[in-house]
């Protein structure tokens, strides 16, 4: 069976964040999410400025920023997101009871609920643990890319049931194909490496679009470690879009 196009997915999408992601994809001809795994505000903003035109979303791990300051980190980042039309995906991977996740989402120094368009969350805390993410999209962690991950077949099936039934969930992170009504986000993509010696396992854009029928590929070191970051973003963007077109 052929995969649906982004236009077809947009027609059936219900969540506003899912719609926005698909609209940006169509407009930019991009299915690239850049992972900004850098540790200073300056690096984060420089990175966002360079990759901004080519991405649908910027994925952050905001808690690795050593000099985080809401006014100096988040305000300019939000301006760049508006300027270049991309969403902010905070890869917090929540994994606790609902009440704690609610506190982690809105309090502390990062106040993720103030600025993130969507967040990642494990579903290990069960269905109700996701209720606190009302108003943002949630991408459920269903299967991980790393060697020896404990997200086995049974876990993924049970996690998928939670993801499919919860209205806040727009999609999942997985290395396996998902039912059409969920958006699939796939990390572990790199054009030149097969792993990082720390458990990460990489596939090519061709693999994730053709074999997994993913919707969005997530690329970190393939882009932010490149000598020419903007060129690398463009290279991945084109590779991802061509792989998508060929998978239709
Ligand atoms: N990520 C994975 N695998 C998962 C889930 N998330 O790699 O199963 C995240 C990592 C990192 C990014 O936390 O931010 O995607 C991958 O970065 P890389 O391309 O540099 O390996």
State the complex-level ipTM: 0.99
**β pairing state of 183-186 and 216-219:** parallel
Q: Residue 1's pLDDT is what?
A: 64
d(CA 24, CA 8): 14
Clarify whether 19 is annotated catalytic. no
pLDDT band for position 149 (50/70/90)? Answer: very high
Q: Answer yes or no: is pLDDT of 35 > 70.
A: yes
Q: Give the ligand 1 atom nearest the CA of 145.
A: 8
The string of pLDDT tens digits covering residues 7-20 is 999 999 999 999 99
Query: For position 186, what pLDDT does the model report?
Result: 98
Report the candidate in 36, 102, 104 with the shortest Cα–Cα distance to residue 73. Answer: 36
Alpha-carbon span 227 to 219, nearest angstrom: 15
**pLDDT at residue 135 in the model:** 85
Token pair, residue 14, equals: 């219900």
pLDDT of residue 28: 98
24: CA distance to ligand 1 center in Å?
22
* pLDDT, average across residues 145-167: 98
10 Å CB burial of residue 152 (0-12, 13-18, 19+) is exposed
Tell which one of 57, 93, 200 to mutate to probe ligand 1, the residue whose CB is within 8 A of the most ligand atoms.
200
Number of helices followed by number of strands (H, E) in the chain = 9, 8
Q: Is 90 in the pocket of ligand 1 (CB under 6 A)?
A: no
**Residue 111: left (phi > 0), alpha (psi -120 to 50), or beta?**
left
Residue 2's pLDDT is 81
Q: Helix, strand, or coil here: 55?
A: coil
Q: What pLDDT does residue 122 have? A: 98
Q: Which atom of ligand 1 is nearest to the CA of 218?
A: 15
Our answer on whether the CB atom of 137 is closer than 6 Å to any ligand 1 atom is no
Q: Is 37 a pocket residue for ligand 1 (Cβ < 6 Å)?
A: yes
Distance 52 CA to ligand 1 centre (A): 19
Q: Which residues of 96-117 are buried (b: 16+ CB within 10 A; e: fewer)?
A: eebeebbebbeeeebebbebbb
Average pLDDT, the chain: 98
Over pLDDT 90: what percentage of the chain? 99
Could you say which of 9, 20, 29, 93 is catalytic? 93
Instruction: Tell me if 188 CB under 6 Å of ligand 1.
Output: yes
Cα of 94 from ligand 1 centre, angstroms: 15
Ramachandran assignment for 206, one of left (phi > 0), alpha (psi -120 to 50 degrees), beta (any other) = alpha
**CB 188 within 8 Å of CB 216:** no
* Ligand 1 pocket member 169 (CB < 6 A): no
């Amino acid at each position: 069976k052929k995969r649906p196009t982004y236009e077809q997915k947009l027609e059936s999408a219900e969540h506003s964040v899912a719609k926005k992601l698909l609209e940006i994809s169509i407009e930019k001809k991009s299915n690239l999410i850049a992972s900004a795994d850098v540790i200073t505000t300056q690096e984060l903003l420089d990175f966002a400025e360079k990759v901004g035109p080519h991405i649908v979303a910027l994925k952050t791990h905001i808690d690795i920023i050593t000099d985080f300051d809401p006014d100096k980190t988040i305000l300019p980042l939000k301006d760049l997101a508006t300027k270049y039309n991309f969403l902010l995906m905070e890869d917090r991977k929540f994994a606790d009871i609902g009440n704690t996740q609610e506190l982690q989402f809105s309090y502390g120094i990062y106040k993720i609920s103030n600025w993130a368009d969507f967040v990642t969350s494990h579903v290990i805390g069960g269905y109700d643990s996701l209720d606190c993410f009302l108003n943002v999209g949630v991408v459920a962690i269903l299967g991980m890319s790393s060697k020896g991950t404990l997200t086995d077949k049974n876990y993924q099936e049970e996690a998928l049931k939670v993801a499919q039934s919860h209205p806040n969930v727009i999609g999942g992170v997985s290395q396996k194909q998902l039912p059409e009504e969920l958006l699939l986000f796939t990390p572990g993509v790199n054009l030149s490496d097969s792993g990082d010696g720390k458990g990460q396992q990489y596939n090519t854009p061709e693999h994730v679009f053709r074999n997994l029928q993913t919707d969005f590929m997530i690329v970190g070191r393939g882009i932010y470690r490149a000598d020419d970051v903007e060129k690398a973003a463009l290279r991945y963007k084109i590779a991802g879009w061509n792989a998508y077109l060929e998978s239709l």
